[in-house]
Structure 1
Amino acid sequence: MRIVDVREATMPISSPIRNAFIDFSKMTLSVVAVVTDVVRDGRPVVGYGFNSNGRYGQGAIIRERLLPRLLEADPASLLDPLRDNLDPERIWNTMMINEKPGGHGERSVAVGAVDMAVWDAVAKIEEKPLFQLLAERFGTGAPNREVFVYAAGGYYQPGRGLTGLTDEMQSYFDRGYTVVKAKIGGAPLAEDLQRIEAVLGMLEPHQRLAVDANGRFDQATAVEYAKALSQYDLFWYEEPVDPLDFEAQAAVAAAYDKPIATGENLFSMQDARNLIRYGGLRPEKDWLQFDCALSYGLVEYLRTLDMLDDNGWSRARCIPHGGHQMSLNIAAGLGLGGNESYPDLFQPFGGFPDGAEVVNGFVTMPDLPGIGFEGKSDLYAVMRALGEPALAM
């Protein structure tokens, strides 16, 4: 058993939208295929992965550093000594040979994309859904087949007013979501409050709104927003300050007695631990959004979950960023609090397998081997063209 090849393609996920910090008109991501010599149903097992939106494609790092290390390694060194399968942790350690500690920006994204493909292959080799495999190896043994999801949107878009915003949010509620999220920080406070009040004014009693500043504010502005937002019953106030300014984060938490969410731009267990130590977050109230596809993959995410356990945080307080099926499987298999969802954006990489429906804010995991990409026809067409080009033609 061995890895035959690792392939990467950089693809656009551009869209004429912006949050408080960036626009997405030139956004890309890396699609990865890990090709093995294992055969299931007459075809080689290929694991697929990609990095989350908000960071760009990682082709150079994958091709110049990670791929050579994997292909030059003794194939036996990448195998699980207890199972007839690949070993994600050994593969992760091989990818990180000759890499210094720290510097978790682009490298962590490249490793996370390959790691996703590895776990997809591992679960397919065992002919199990990834969520089932994770529940058996690292959870209670029984996955939670129903996962809470919220609809992320509410971006700033040219020429769209409040009616366009509320129409978008209503479309999410019509599709079964109960929590929606809108951007703030890309307009003056007064205008942002108008946007918030427009959405709040349309909510039914069981529906909620979260807001996201994307790390835009300095401490004073974040606290000013916190005081203004305190008048509303928001699901959370997300990423008010720079993700590494833990002192400012603590000041916001001291000024805002309602839930805060953050962590999507922290890319290692060590940075996540510093947030827990110094960011003033409250385990009974706040939410953690670490995204395995940006932060060295599931191997590192498991270390982060162990760290949270040691520090009195429940896994149920984790709702990962990214809106992808990898985190959806992790949520189902390891008991997280839910997952982000992009019903309309960043396609074909966001969303669920074909036919999956959101009912009262929850989606039910289908029985598909691996992560389940094969169940999403538009996404699988892109992936298969990379991993099995002869069959995709």
Structure 2
Amino acid sequence: MRIVEIREITVPISSPIRNAYIDFSKMNASLVAVVTDVIRGGRPVIGYGFNSNGRYGQGSLMRERFIPRIMEADPDALLDESGENLDPHKIWSTMFVNEKPGGHGERSVAMGTIDMAVWDAVAKIADEPLFTLLAKRYGNGTPDKRVFVYAAGGYYYPGKDNAMLQDEMRRYLDLGYTVVKQKIGGASLDEDLRRIDAVLDVLQDGQKLAVDANGRFDLDTAIQYAKALSQYDLFWYEEAGDPLDYELQAILRNYYDKPMATGENLFSMQDARNLIRYGGMRADRDWLQFDCALSYGLVEYLRTLEMLRQHGWSASRCIPHGGHQMSLNIAAGLGLGGNESYPDLFQPYGGFPDGVRVENGYVTMPELSGIGFEGKSDLIKVMRELAQ
């Protein structure tokens, strides 16, 4: 068997929303199809992948470096020991040929997107859900098909007042979510506190709010917010400062003893390791948000999980950024703590397969081959247009 072709297209996911750092008015993403010569049901098996929101599409890097390296390799060198399926680790190593260590930047997004498509193809060729394959290969053998999810929203939006913010959060709660998240740092502290109070007013017992500063704050501002947020029982205080400012994160723990979260903008095992070594993160309460689609893919994520284990962290403290089905499969197969979800945004790429519902903060994974993209009708339509 072999990879016949790898296709990429840059697609818009623009929206008039903004967080504390960027607006999404010109945001796009890469959509990838890995076409194989394996035939199932009269059709070739095709793996699909895309990068998470917040980072732009990386088609030029894929077309100039990573796709040619795969296509120029000996096809047999990309197969597993059985010779009947692709080996994602070998493909990853092929993509990384002639790449220097460090400086991860956008290439981690390009590789992570292709890696997602490769794993989708691998699980489809094996004719099983990716979460089942992962549990067998790297987990305890039995996936946990119930996965915690939270609703990410609460962006700043032109003309959006607190009543509209409350309506948004009510919609998420009515969908079955028990944890909702809103943005902070894009307004004054006083205004953000009023926005937080407004959301807390609509929450019931057992429901919680998380807040996300998207790396906006310097140390003094991060501390100022930490002191103000300490009055609340928040699910977490997310990404207060620059993601690579480990000292800021380490100092902040002295002013905020409740759960914090960060990691979505760390794009390698090495950067994640530096966070664990120097960022003062607490394994008993804090959350790690590494996103495989932005950080070289699942092959690298497996290295990150092993690093966490060596440092005394449980995979259950990981709730990835991105809101995509790839991380949802990883959560079910490898025992992560859950996954982000975007009920209203970045469609058709976010969300769940058709018919999957959130119940008391959890979704149950459907038995779909691969990542499960074929079960989401609006998404697979776009994907098949690329493949055809």
| Bin of the TM-score, shorter chain as denominator length | over 0.9
| Equivalent residue, structure 2, for 1:80 | 80
| Equivalent residue, structure 2, for 1:223 | 223
Helix, strand or coil: the match of 1:255?
coil
Q: Once superposed, what is the RMSD of the aligned Cα atoms? A: 0.6
User: % of aligned pairs identical?
Assistant: 74
Gaps of 5+ in 1: none
| Equivalent residue, structure 2, for 1:34 | 34
Conserved 8 A contact 1:254-1:280: no
Cα separation, 2, equivalents of 1:151 and 1:226 = 22
Helix, strand or coil: the match of 2:254?
helix
Helix, strand or coil: the match of 1:206?
coil
- Once the two structures are superposed, the pairs formed by residues 245-284 of structure 1 within 5 Å of their partners are 245-284=245-284
Cα separation, 1, equivalents of 2:208 and 2:163 = 18
Cα separation, 2, equivalents of 1:83 and 1:204 = 54
Cα separation, 2, equivalents of 1:258 and 1:287 = 11
Normalised to the residue count of structure 1, the TM-score between the two structures is: 0.98
| Equivalent residue, structure 2, for 1:115 | 115
Conserved 8 A contact 2:130-2:371: yes
| Equivalent residue, structure 2, for 1:132 | 132
Conserved 8 A contact 2:76-2:83: no
| Equivalent residue, structure 1, for 2:297 | 297
| Equivalent residue, structure 1, for 2:170 | 170
Conserved 8 A contact 2:151-2:172: yes
Instruction: Give the C-alpha shift of residue 105 in structure 1.
Output: 1.1
Instruction: Give the C-alpha shift of residue 84 in structure 1.
Output: 1.9
- Once the two structures are superposed, the pairs formed by residues 1-393 of structure 1 within 5 Å of their partners are 1-82=1-82, 84-387=84-387, 389=388
Conserved 8 A contact 1:176-1:359: yes
| Runs of 4+ displaced beyond 6 Å | none
Cα separation, 2, equivalents of 1:253 and 1:303 = 26
Instruction: Give the C-alpha shift of residue 201 in structure 1.
Output: 1.4
Cα separation, 2, equivalents of 1:301 and 1:167 = 36
Cα separation, 2, equivalents of 1:253 and 1:155 = 26
Instruction: Give the C-alpha shift of residue 63 in structure 1.
Output: 0.4
Gaps of 5+ in 2: none
One-letter amino acid matched to 2:323: G
Helix, strand or coil: the match of 2:284?
coil
One-letter amino acid matched to 2:34: V
Cα separation, 2, equivalents of 1:104 and 1:234 = 32
Instruction: Give the C-alpha shift of residue 83 in structure 1.
Output: 5.6
Paired residues in the alignment total 388
1:306-341 CA distance string (max 9 Å, x none): 000000000000000000000000000000000000
Cα separation, 1, equivalents of 2:303 and 2:160 = 42
Helix, strand or coil: the match of 1:254?
coil
Cα separation, 1, equivalents of 2:233 and 2:83 = 49
Helix, strand or coil: the match of 2:36?
strand
Cα separation, 2, equivalents of 1:357 and 1:42 = 31
Helix, strand or coil: the match of 1:374?
helix
Helix, strand or coil: the match of 1:359?
coil
Cα separation, 1, equivalents of 2:54 and 2:8 = 18
Cα separation, 2, equivalents of 1:199 and 1:234 = 11
Helix, strand or coil: the match of 1:38?
strand
One-letter amino acid matched to 1:160: K
One-letter amino acid matched to 1:225: Y
Cα separation, 2, equivalents of 1:260 and 1:206 = 19
Instruction: Give the C-alpha shift of residue 57 in structure 1.
Output: 0.5
Cα separation, 2, equivalents of 1:253 and 1:125 = 46
Instruction: Give the C-alpha shift of residue 82 in structure 1.
Output: 4.1
1:204-234 CA distance string (max 9 Å, x none): 0110000000000001100110000000000
Conserved 8 A contact 1:291-1:327: yes
